[in-house]
Amino acid sequence: MGWIAAGTTNRGRRRLGHALLVLALSILFGGLPSAAAAHAEPPVVVLPSGCFLLDGNGQYVSGPRSRNQVMVERGDDGLVTARCTARLMPATHGGVQQWDFATTGRPCTLSTGNTLIQTEDWEEEISADGEAVLTCRATPR
């Protein structure tokens, strides 16, 4: 049976897995969370297997729920561009919603092979019908 209680649903296990991923990313990029940082928002994330992004209302959405597609390109200059497209909840105001580091204070974490890079160079746009595109750019050191 392990440490997961009898009757735990798949949804509960996914939430636990999501929480552990967010904790691991927080530790990786900021050390152990302090009491003051305990309420810090998680980064948007683009991995080859999926992404974690914001819906039209600013709610954090995990990769499996977003049914996303991921593309990662590396330019001749070393710039890595990671792009995730997803179908999400649109903004309640009915228009296009845009997010980036300036509007959220969240960085983007992207994968470049075996390396995770955190960057402030990202933007996400969610159309009025919920089509989202998240783009993160970084140059590995």
Three-state SS annotation for 24-88: HHHHHHHCCCCCHHHHCCCCEEEECCEEEEECCCCCEECHHHHCCEEEEEECCCCCEEEEEEEEC
DSSP classification of residue 90: P
- Top-ranked range on mean pLDDT: pick from 44-53, 69-78, 128-137: 128-137
- pLDDT at residue 6 tops 50: no
Task: Report pLDDT for 47.
Answer: 85
Q: Which residue has the higher pLDDT, 111 or 33?
A: 111
Q: What tens digit of pLDDT does each residue of 61-118 get?
A: 986 666 678 888 999 998 999 999 999 999 999 999 999 999 999 999 998 778 899 9
Task: Report pLDDT for 106.
Answer: 94
Task: Report pLDDT for 95.
Answer: 97
Separation of alpha carbons 141 and 94, rounded Å:
41
Pairing of strands 131-138, 122-126: antiparallel
% helix, strand, coil for the chain, step of 5: 25, 35, 40
Bridge partner residues of 123 (DSSP):
100, 135
pLDDT category, 25, cuts 50, 70, 90? Answer: low
Contact (CB, 8 A) for 41 and 121: no
pLDDT category, 19, cuts 50, 70, 90? Answer: very low
Task: Report pLDDT for 35.
Answer: 36
CA 77 to chain centre: 25
Burial readout 75-99 (b: 16 or more C-beta within 10 A, e: otherwise): eeeeebbbbbbbebbbbeeeeebeb
Separation of alpha carbons 139 and 81, rounded Å:
9
Mean pLDDT of 4-29: 46
pLDDT category, 33, cuts 50, 70, 90? Answer: very low
Global confidence as pTM:
0.71
